[in-house]
Structure 1
Amino acid sequence: MEAGRRRLLATGAAAGAVAALPRVARAQAAATIRIGVLTDMSGSYRDNTGPGSVAGTQQAVAEFGSRGFAVEVLVADHQNKPDVGVNIARQWYDQGVDVIVDIPTSSVGLAVQNVSREKNKVALNVGSATSDLTGPQCSPTGIHWAYDTWMLAKSTGGATVQAGGDSWFFITADYAFGHALERDASAFVRAAGGKVLGTVRTPFPATTDFSAFLVQAQAAKPKVIGLANAGADTINCVKQAAEFGLARRGIKLASLLLFITDVHSIGLQTGQGLVCSETFYWDLNDRTRAFTKRVLPRMPGLHPNSIHAGCYSATLHYLKAVADMGVAAAKGAGAEVVNRMKAMPCDDDAFGPGRIREDGRKLCPSHLFEVKAPAESRAPWDYYKLLQTTPAEAAFRPLNEGNCPLVRS
């Protein structure tokens, strides 16, 4: 397999144009699977997705090996804009791309999943968080890997309420992801007998100063300020909350979506005591450590998070399904490939054994972590201590509650 043939496709800042794929002989094209990594290479989510997602995808291709067909990995930056993401997806599919992986930013993920359904191509959403991807907007050609807003709300939000945080105020990123995370977390808070005192919506992606929003949240006198945001927004919120001394005033931060890459940027001195949920941690067990050792040369300066590992896992399982079907049968048959992926059990070093449900939700355990104090960390990237694990079948929204049209009543 020609796993080494990779081309970087860039988007123009204004038009979001994608370079055309090279012309190849028809027989060669028929025997080549093209994987497009559509991600954030330059914006708020670059460290959480971007190069690490590319590295995870490339690692899966390298490990898959030669099984009678070539694999090309292409990359584009969607700039966190749905119109740019849709434009790239359409051009890629028209030029022979078979599957798109990662797709961070929920508004982009939902839009690209719709295009993929229309073109009967596979969308492997990893970086997108909204649980609507396997709910009302589920697709026969879409699978959602690694995590979602319902899982995060149950794990992090639920644990915070159980610890006494029964009054909340949300600082929410004003787009599909933030709205979904606030919605799902609010439901868990209220179900546990807590109250939501208010919310403030913050512009995305143009905000760097959250001081006014933190002051507004503090004025409501909640026990918990819920951060329904991610990436640079979360990092800035946590740092500025520390400067304001909110913890000394008895207000706890609940960062509903926090990755180890965010913790690295925040630093243990500021981040210690934060709780977060991830489905992958590099130091969780022997298999996660083995995967991390293999992928690290592809991502200097970072350790993989759940999204990076998810791109690896999703790509590897997709390639196994293609090999099982045969390339000729898989080409242009997104729904059939996804059905084969659902029928095959999942197992890899990042997440261990698992399965894909009828609604496209990939099931795996979720882990609640607490960020270590500086004195507790024994090595670089030794940032988490495990608090609890929720089994795969209980970690995500029950199948009959998502309103996915693919689910038989």
Structure 2
Amino acid sequence: MDFTECVLSAGRALLEMVEREWQPLSAGELEHRLDQAVEEILESDLIATLEAQPPPPPPQTIYVQLLPSQATVGPQILHTTTATTCSLPEEDSAESQEQLDPVDGAAVRYISDLLQSSKSRARMAGRARLSLSHTVLLSLTLLSERVSYRSVSRRFQLEKGNIHRIFFSFCERVNMLEEKQIRWPVGREAEEALFPFSSLLGKDEQDEGQSVPEVLGVLGHIRIPIRLPIGKHDVQSSVPEVKRMKKEAHPDSWLNLEMVCDRRGQFLYCRISKGSDVDRGGALRDKLKQQPELMPSGSCLVARAGYPLTAQVLTPYTESHGPREELFNKTLEEHLHILDQAVANLKARFKRLRYLDIGHYDRARAVVLTACVLHNVFLEMGQVFQGEVEEEEAILSEGDMEADIEGVRRRDAIADLLFKNFDSGNT
């Protein structure tokens, strides 16, 4: 490596560190902040002029001409009275109320109580001027809406860098609730979580000694796009960055979120990994083999193609699609829609997951895990945020994976039983 390459490498590392710690303003944010500074100077001059004038007897309403950048907001109004003081209007009150609608007071209180009673009672970073409830409100606002740090800074009257520290401190505290909120059901709780594999399979088969499967949960994954770290950019490429990311899809430009959800859409298991991690269900498969008691007798998980077929995880047929295989796949797809809806609800409530403008893996992971924990918290509260399942949100299959003998035998036995009952019902 020559001297020039060393300098470039050191420069990229320094830029990444500065960006991670201080989150510098983009060109658009800098331009807006300059406009805001000019507006504040003009308003200060206007207020000083008004205060210097003798107060008129009746109250007056004075309209302040906006800059072109605020033309869409409407005229600002300054109310003056017979006294020499002026009261400024609350900034963006209608907009703020609209953006805070998904974050109600009950949720803020509930989550505040959870954090207050968690293991770590250390004060969150950056909370010198902010109460716990306002910390929760600020963080839920950033998660629920695609708003910038700048707009939240203006709304909460805090420095942008301080908001950055508050938000990630909040995520760290919520992550500590993972074991409590994202739990694999065991014992009686697991038995109550089971639901029928198919309406075609009933007690008659059980009475005949045949094993009738029940479903404990649905396994799948999604990709959460994140900002590519500075060190990963191809500085030699002439292709524009956005087009290059879409075309080349660098594995570090997303996170893998693998989860198991029950029939209510509650997450029983979450695993977050880098985009370069191609393991699909391997860690969970090994865990279930080592701890078979985690799966009640006769139960199973269902997953799309792309996951390993085992006795505990059933996947669809990908070849030789006869009537029997088609019926089995259709039955599986009905269950897989549960996961698609849970993912749609997660993304609808936490819109920031549609793209995380974070180039640091650990921090991006903390935000995703925070959303998963809070997803379960809201379900626990009875607050269901219904999202619309979009075509691209359905978990895509990635071809066949390895299959063990027990998994093949069990899938074939269930497929035979389904087809026999379906055929007898039609004759």
Do they fold alike, i.e. is TM over 0.5? no
Question: TM class by shorter-chain length?
Answer: under 0.3
- The TM-score with structure 2 as length reference comes to 0.26
- The TM-score with structure 1 as length reference comes to 0.27
Q: Which has the higher contact order (CA 8 A, sep 6+)?
A: 1
Bigger Rg, which one: 2
Please identify which structure carries the higher helix content: 2
